Amino acid sequence: MNELENIKELFEERITSVNDLNELNAIRVDFLGKNGHLTTCMKLIKDLSNEEKKSFGENVNKLKTLVLERIEEKKEYLEEKEIRAEIDKMPNVDLTTPSGDKRGSLHPVTIVQQKLIDIFRSMGFTVEDGNEVETEYNNFEAVNIPKHHPARDMQDTFYLSNGQVLKTHTSASQNRIMKKYGAPLKAIFPGRCFRNEELDASHENTFFQMEGMMIDKDVSISNLIYFMKTMLSEVFGKEVNVRLRPGFFPFVEPGFELDSSCPYCGGKGCRVCKNSGWIELCPCGMIHPNVLEMGGIDPNEYQGFAFGLGLSRLVMMTYGFDDIRHLNGKDLNVLSQTKVK
C-alpha cells in the first residue's frame, strides 16, 4: 500500500511540473510503460494472498485510472498551449478582416435571382425551392408530356439508375407546388436545370431558370402580360414593352414566347438584340387544364398562367457576357461581375 502511495506522490509531483508533450510522454512510459511503476505493481499481484490480491488489485486499478485521466487532461492543456504559442509567433494579423481588393462576391446568377425574388415578393408571390433530382412523373407526365411524346426530345436529360432524372426545367416543380398550396396560388421557384445539350455560347448542360405560376379565378393573358412587363421593367430599371408570339409547350394552352423591347437600345437595334429591337426572354402561357387537374385543381373553376424565365441567359445579358459557359467557369472577371467582352 505504501508502495502505491509513493507512486501516486511521485506521479503528482511530475504531472504538476510537466511543461511539454515530450516530457508528458516520458511520464506515461515511466508509469504505464512495459517496465513502468504501475505495470510492475500489476505484475506483483499474482504473488499475493487472495485477500491481498483483491484490495491491492482494486487500488492499483484506481490509481491507473487516475493516472490515465490526469495524463489525458494534461495532454489537452499542453496541446492547446502549443497552438497558442504558434499563433503568438505569427505576425500580428487579424484573420477576420476582409482582404481588401481580393474580397469574394456573390455569383452573378445569385445577384440577379435575388433581385427577381425581391420583385416578385413585392407583388405577393411566395418563393419555393425545387429539387434538382426529380421523378420522371414531375418532370414530364405531370406537365402533360407523356412517355414517348415527341416533346421529350426537346429536353433530353440525364437518367439516374433509380429511374429519376436531373430536372430539365423548373416546370418540374409545378405539380408539387399545386398539390402543396391548392388554388389560389402565386409562387415563383428558381432552380438549376440540366440538359444533355450540345454546348455553345448560349447553351449549357447546367443552367438556371426561374418559373412562376399564378392561379386564381378569372386569371387571363392580360394578367400574364402585366406581371411580365412589371418584372422586366424592374429588372432592367426602365420601362420596357413586351410582345407575345405563339410558342408550343404541351403544358400551356395557348403558349407564347414573350419578347421584351431591347432595354439597351430602346428598340432601335443593337448588338444585344441582334438589330431586331426585341429580345426573346421568357416562354409562358395559360396553364393547360390537364396540368391543373393533375395538380388537384379544378380547371372549370380556376385558370392560371405560368412562365419559365431563362435566368442564366438574363444574367448574360445583364452583365454583357458573350458566352454562357463563363457562368459555370472560374474566371474571376465573371465572378467579380466585370464585363467580359
The cell for 282 is: 421568357
**What is the nearest approach in angstroms of ligand FA5 to the Cβ of residue 126?**
17
Would you say 8 or 288 has its CB closer to ligand FA5? 288
Stretch binding ligand FA5 (CB under 6 A), from 65-73, 218-226, 248-256, 263-271: 248-256
Q: Which of 33, 57, 32, 31 is nearest to 44 (CA)?
A: 57
Residue closer to ligand FA5 (CB basis): 109 or 252 = 252
The residue range among 22-30, 33-41, 106-114, 202-210 that interacts with ligand FA5, by the rule CB under 6 A, is: 202-210
* CB closer to ligand FA5 out of 261 and 312: 312
Closer to ligand FA5 at the Cβ: 249 or 278?
249
Instruction: Write each residue from 159 to 178 as x if it is in contact with ligand FA5 (CB under 6 A), else as -, in one continuous string.
Output: ----------x-x-------
> DSSP string covering 184-236, please?
SEEEEEEEEEE-----BTTB-SEEEEEEEEEEETT--HHHHHHHHHHHHHHHH
* Residue 284 in the binding site for ligand FA5 (CB under 6 A): yes
CA atoms within 13 A on the CB side of 3: 12
Residue 141 grid coordinates? 407526365
Judge whether 164 and 133 are in contact, CB under 8 Å.
yes
Interface residue with ligand FA5 among 167, 288, 313, 326 (CB under 6 A) is: 313
- Comparing CB distances to ligand FA5, the nearer of 56 and 189 is 189
- Please list the residues that pair with 234 across neighbouring strands: none
**Minimal CB distance residue for ligand FA5:** 310
Site stretch for ligand FA5 (CB under 6 A), options 28-36, 116-124, 134-142, 201-209: 201-209
Does position 285 interact with ligand FA5 (CB under 6 A)? The reply is yes
Q: Distance between CA atoms of 244 and 104, rounded to whole angstroms?
A: 40
Interaction between residue 306 and ligand FA5 (CB under 6 A): yes
Using alpha carbons, select from 282, 186, 190 the residue that is nearest to residue 242: 282
Residues whose CB is less than 8 angstroms from the CB of residue 166 and which lie 6 or more positions away in sequence, other chains included: 132, 133, 134, 157, 158, 160, 193, 194
Distance CA 100, CA 89 (A): 24
Question: Counting contacts by CB under 6 A, is residue 186 touching ligand FA5?
Answer: no
Nearer to ligand FA5, 24 or 128 (CB): 128
Q: In the structure grid, which three cell numbers stand for residue 213, read together?
A: 405560376
DSSP string computed for 122-179: HTT-EE----SEE-HHHHTGGGT--TT-GGGGGG---B-TTS-EE-SSGGGGHHHHHH
**Nearest distance in Å: CB 93, ligand FA5:** 43
Region of 69-77, 236-244, 260-268, 306-314 interacting with ligand FA5 (CB under 6 A): 306-314
Contact residues: ligand FA5, CB under 6 A: 169, 171, 195, 197, 203-204, 207, 209, 211, 249, 252, 255, 283-285, 306-308, 310, 312-313, 324
